[in-house]
Structure 1
Amino acid sequence: MAMRVALHSVLKEGREAGYEEVHATVPADLLEALGRAGITNWRIWRSGRHLFHLVDCEDFTAAMTALDRDPVNHRWQEFIGDYVDHFETTDGAPAGPSAEMALGQVWELRAQAAAAGEEG
């Protein structure tokens, strides 16, 4: 069963424009690494220094574990670390191991509407 995971990261001060520039086209080998890890889509929105990511994959923990072992991802993380200060967790603390980055969902319109439909 596919899953969608939300992430929140924070850019280093003054690195907003540069971050967007390097994401205009990410390296092809990174796209391949993401695919090998089981990630089918990754979207990023920015508000000031805050980035909001939506990741579609089969298993987020397995995907992050695969990426943690992939030298292509290591090179990308080293490079993008010049822009990204940290990822946060639901409690607002910087994330530790990458599998802890997923934010907890608070509410979903479709789920509530479906539940209401079942009741009525």
Structure 2
Amino acid sequence: MRIALHTRVRADRIAEYEDAHRAVPEELTAAIRAAGVHSWTIWRSGTELFHLLNCEDYGRLLAELEQLPVNIAWQARMAELLDVVHDYSAEGAGAGLPVVWQL
């Protein structure tokens, strides 16, 4: 599956957000890979963040990470840095951003 997400970093927290992503906990990246993610890239334009994930099953990814302590801590840290946080709930997560056009 290819999933696109959108979040927004707080303007005064950009450097902190980028610093955090230079040191994503190894335990978290291992869990993300184990949950079937092949790649995850984040682009930033000003405060807008665009994520592209290639994974086996997005719902499985969310379910496997939901109760993982390292992910809970990471999500809490990201919530402090973001104005728009991705909704990881079953109702809100869906499959990410809807596709408008594809070549």
TM-score w.r.t. length of structure 2: 0.86
Q: Which residue of 2 aligns with 1:76?
A: 74
Q: How many residues align?
A: 101
Report deviation, 1:43: 0.2
Task: State the identity as a percent.
Answer: 41
Separation of aligned partners in 1, 2:100 and 2:85: 19
CA 24–96 in structure 1, closer or farther in 2 if over 3 Å, else same: closer
Separation of aligned partners in 1, 2:82 and 2:30: 22
Q: Which residue of 1 aligns with 2:63?
A: 65
CA 101–17 in structure 1, closer or farther in 2 if over 3 Å, else same: farther
Q: Which residue of 2 aligns with 1:16?
A: 14
Rg larger for: 1
TM-score w.r.t. length of structure 1: 0.75
Report deviation, 1:16: 1.0
Note the residue ranges of structure 1 that are not aligned, 5 or more in a row: 89-94, 110-120
Q: Which residue of 2 aligns with 1:104?
A: 98
CA 100–12 in structure 1, closer or farther in 2 if over 3 Å, else same: farther
Pair 1:33 & 2:31 matched: yes
Higher relative contact order (CA 8 A, sep 6+): 2
Q: Deviations over 1:55-95 (max 9, x none)?
A: 1100111111111121111011112222122236xxxxxx3
Separation of aligned partners in 2, 1:72 and 1:65: 14
Separation of aligned partners in 1, 2:67 and 2:38: 18
Note the residue ranges of structure 2 that are not aligned, 5 or more in a row: none
Tell me how large the CA RMSD over aligned residues is.
1.7
